[in-house]
Structure 1
């Protein structure tokens, strides 16, 4: 086991858009930084071939500390098709290559070692253990692990897969399917009403699935957004469309942080919720069946290896496989590399860390960005465009460390110097 002592170092865990953006800003400010992760791994390995980004090209730029690193800049440098208009739709493969290019230019010393554990040191700071056997000291740690470990399958569906949701079981999660062609000739049910569900269903149908049906739960109804020329003109622009609420949540996330916890949680759940992209409607209509406004009661295997989905509406639906396109839910329990003592010391808002200014948690020196920050800073943290708000604020906080409040307890909402929980 090798031990390195560089107490002034900041460690960034994660090499997706939020991790790379945070690391680039820290390095640009001269902060000694080590970044660990597989660049763009979730985008490369957990998104289906042929997927197109719902976000516009401008909202798909990873925030950089200096000009010249947008998606358009990458396309020009690589000699690829330019994506710059709100009418342009970006392939996931292009976006993945863009993120890898961003990494090579701005975070060139990225280390692909996996972080095994992070623990508090007795005299302050952190001890970070790697799968290579190295143990390094860090004065601060930034957790930017994105979607890793956050795939959510409702319990009423998960029970149908005895060994857990997987492509070979009766039920899987949408993130477990890279190749839609695996469903050729099969009957498929997709549970969900958001972009992931609708696009998964379309890609499977286009790849030759025998039949595909989307099941939208509860009050959800399958719908699609408005194209760029149908946006309201008298409302401010945001990366998500023209609306005062979207503008505020995008550019004033610190104000969102000060809302009461139950209000924040409801807004994160509801705002920018299940809705297909405008460009998907034509491909969806007439190709995918829809059952909507039902409550899913459970799923079980039946004869011939098929699976039956039981709903509140009628006798149920049968298929060869069920995909839960039910999104991602951040959960501190999934971050098992954080030592038990460290997790116990974290103040929480729901199942996420409660954060203060500069994206810092209640544990001095431990920061979170990306999906884990959404419960505090709002739904913009679920999207790449959130790097524009988060990264320079996080880097500023770490470049000029300010006194941290003492750690709070691990449950409930926090009240105090950070504003209302």
Structure 2
């Protein structure tokens, strides 16, 4: 029996998170068979790891239009668009129902270990574009499997590869050896075991973004109840006017409030700051506590635990046999990198983009969502939804729709984290809400703009 024509093969989508599932919904809308491969046991497995953290963006900005159409026949109704979900809300009330609607088009417990052109390693040119992709899988029982695909959309994100604490981008000396005392996630202090881990202890928090703000605020609240709890905030830069974000002037109230709570944690003595500190090593003292050493030789007083929140980076190991065009700094697609450089852009100043910016030398392979941004922290969910709308149009042969990139983005601010609220009322929508500030419409080509947002 002859092998099926490439056009009859499914499009493999790696990752059943927000962007991967949206890609599948757009493929279904286009009449193209998707196959979503998720390493975890459920939809949004990475999102569930931060289920206790609230998004900066409201429901209206974190659902995809094609996905909503797919969900509608089952009676699904989007939650109040002006309210802000937690990661757990997002996973349970939207991502899992969407995956369920896709049915057997989603496979769980399936890890992608390699992607290549059938019969061609990355060196071979001859006949390359005519060959389908072969996707190598590892199943839950350890068995291996191979699948053929007409195209591959990698929406696996960056959650599995957090940045280390070493100032040079590599693990600090002794960091791996102290793994039992180091976490790379915002702690869930509602969990008794996690609460016991940090309660009454000195904890170093490494990082300067929203996740660090959230953690400092959490630990400050714990310090009010558990005597001896203290945070040591380690920053590579000094503390300046913009260290805590926009505060009361921030047009995203949730983010502004979060920065103010982090500032209060320091000013009220629940946290102390070590500034201009570039970590070189982690040592242990005679009592087993951790001593963090800077490149300039400074040594901090011992801590019991360390929480490293220095961002994330893409795992490109299973893509080694396909030809990717990536920026040497950000590890993002070459044409996209200048648009998302965090030294220049915030989430709202990223120019709308689609298949043209996301294409690689290897035809029909795409990195989308957070993974497409490489090491840049400026990603918006609605940007990812627009990415997959454009890409699926291109796969379907509709170049006009693929190149018609339209998006209404929020201006100002880096929106890569999640919000923290003092009371339930603060989680409601407000003027100037969304991910950043008042929306500005950016449009290319024909058609009316669609709404955007979502961190």
TM over 0.5: yes
Alignment of 1:148-297 (within 5 A): 148-156=159-167, 158-161=171-174, 163=176, 166=179, 168-169=180-181, 171-174=182-185, 179=191, 180-181=194-195, 182-207=197-222, 208=226, 210-219=229-238, 221=240, 222-226=243-247, 231=251, 277-281=255-259, 283-284=261-262, 285=264, 286=268, 288-291=270-273, 293-297=275-279
Q: Deviations over 1:29-65 (max 9, x none)?
A: 10121111132011112x2x63221233333334535
> Which residue in 1 is equivalent to 2:393?
396
Report deviation, 1:354.
3.0
> Which residue in 2 is equivalent to 1:335?
316
Question: Per the alignment, do residues 199 and 336 of structure 1 end up closer, same or farther by CA in structure 2, a change over 3 Å counting?
Answer: same
> Which residue in 1 is equivalent to 2:300?
316
Aligned residues: 336
**1:29 matched to 2:30:** yes
> Which residue in 1 is equivalent to 2:133?
126
- For the aligned residue pairs, the C-alpha RMSD in angstroms reads 3.4
> Which residue in 2 is equivalent to 1:104?
100
**Corresponding residue to 1:117 among 114, 118, 132:** 114
Whole-angstrom CA distance in 1 between matches of 2:71 and 2:137: 30
**Is 1:27–1:33's contact at 8 Å kept on the other side of the alignment?**
yes
Whole-angstrom CA distance in 2 between matches of 1:69 and 1:290: 48
Segments of 5+ residues of structure 2 without an aligned counterpart are 120-129, 336-354, 400-455
Report deviation, 1:335.
2.6
**1:301 matched to 2:261:** no
Question: Per the alignment, do residues 162 and 283 of structure 1 end up closer, same or farther by CA in structure 2, a change over 3 Å counting?
Answer: closer
Report deviation, 1:289.
1.4
Q: Deviations over 1:182-238 (max 9, x none)?
A: 3122210101111111112322443447112322222465313456x864xxxxxxx
Whole-angstrom CA distance in 1 between matches of 2:160 and 2:364: 23
* TM-score (structure 2 length as normaliser): 0.64
Whole-angstrom CA distance in 1 between matches of 2:35 and 2:70: 23
Report deviation, 1:306.
1.0
Question: Per the alignment, do residues 162 and 193 of structure 1 end up closer, same or farther by CA in structure 2, a change over 3 Å counting?
Answer: closer
**Is 2:247–2:260's contact at 8 Å kept on the other side of the alignment?**
no
**Corresponding residue to 1:41 among 21, 31, 45:** 45
Segments of 5+ residues of structure 1 without an aligned counterpart are 232-239, 242-275, 403-421
Question: Per the alignment, do residues 11 and 183 of structure 1 end up closer, same or farther by CA in structure 2, a change over 3 Å counting?
Answer: same
**1:90 matched to 2:101:** no
**Is 1:358–1:394's contact at 8 Å kept on the other side of the alignment?**
no
